[in-house]
């Protein structure tokens, strides 16, 4: 994270400067009362995990149709139980329509099968540059 005064990337400290609580670097913390390490410290907010679901099975239409036939169910029966249109099930089984994540979850639960896989991606927040202007930036502009 960046210091709110000079913009330096470092561990931050929560300080009271001119009656305002700020997250500042160690060097700028000398301008006020230091309360200790900030909850926004670089080490704590460096990475964030993002989860998405991906349809793993390419032949989902065949799997859904086989599971329906195995249980001797009609498309009409499944449609009423899953609260979707019968024509949608027909299109899915024929492979005429792309299966959405929401529908895939319904079919997974109904047939007790695996169609989706959770994919987690780590995003490094430390490399994202802040476009916010710090007090230090403002002072540099004023001096120019």
* Measured distance CA(31)–CA(16) in Å, rounded: 9
Average pLDDT over residues 113-118: 84
Q: What is the CATH number of domain 57-114?
A: 1.10.260.40
What pLDDT does residue 98 have? 85
Furthest CA-CA distance within the chain: 80
| Tokens 């926004």, located at residue | 40
Regarding pTM above 0.85, the answer is no
Are 41 and 12 within 8 A, CB to CB? yes
What pLDDT does residue 54 have? 77
* Measured distance CA(119)–CA(3) in Å, rounded: 34
Percent of the chain with pLDDT over 70: 78
Average pLDDT value for the chain: 80
Band of residue 39 on the pLDDT scale cut at 50, 70, 90 = low
Are 24 and 17 within 8 A, CB to CB? yes
What is the DSSP-derived secondary structure letter of residue 47? E
The domain locations on the chain are: 13-49+125-143, 57-114
What pLDDT does residue 33 have? 87
* Measured distance CA(79)–CA(93) in Å, rounded: 12
Question: pLDDT digits over 46-60, tens only?
Answer: 555 666 777 777 888
More confident residue, 82 or 132: 82
What pLDDT does residue 106 have? 92
Q: Spell out the long-range contacts of 42-49 with Cβ–Cβ below 8 A and sequence spacing 24 or more.
A: 42/1, 42/9, 42/10, 42/11, 42/12, 42/126, 43/11, 45/1, 45/125, 46/124, 46/125, 46/126, 47/122, 47/123, 47/124, 47/125, 47/126, 48/122, 48/123, 48/125, 49/120, 49/121, 49/122, 49/123
What pLDDT does residue 117 have? 80
């Amino acid at each position: 994270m960046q210091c709110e005064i000079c913009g330096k990337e470092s561990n931050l400290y929560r300080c009271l400067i001119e009656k305002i609580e700020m997250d500042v670097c160690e060097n700028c913390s000398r301008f006020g009362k230091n309360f200790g390490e900030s909850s926004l410290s670089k080490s704590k907010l460096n990475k964030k995990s993002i989860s998405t679901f991906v349809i793993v099975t390419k032949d989902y239409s065949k799997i859904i149709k086989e599971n329906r036939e195995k249980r001797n169910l009609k498309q009409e029966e499944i449609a009423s139980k899953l609260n979707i249109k019968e024509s949608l099930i027909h299109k899915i089984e024929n492979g005429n329509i792309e299966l959405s994540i929401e529908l895939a979850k319904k079919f997974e639960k109904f047939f007790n099968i695996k169609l989706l896989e959770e994919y987690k991606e780590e995003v490094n927040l430390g490399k994202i540059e802040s476009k916010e202007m710090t007090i230090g930036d403002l002072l540099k502009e004023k001096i120019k």
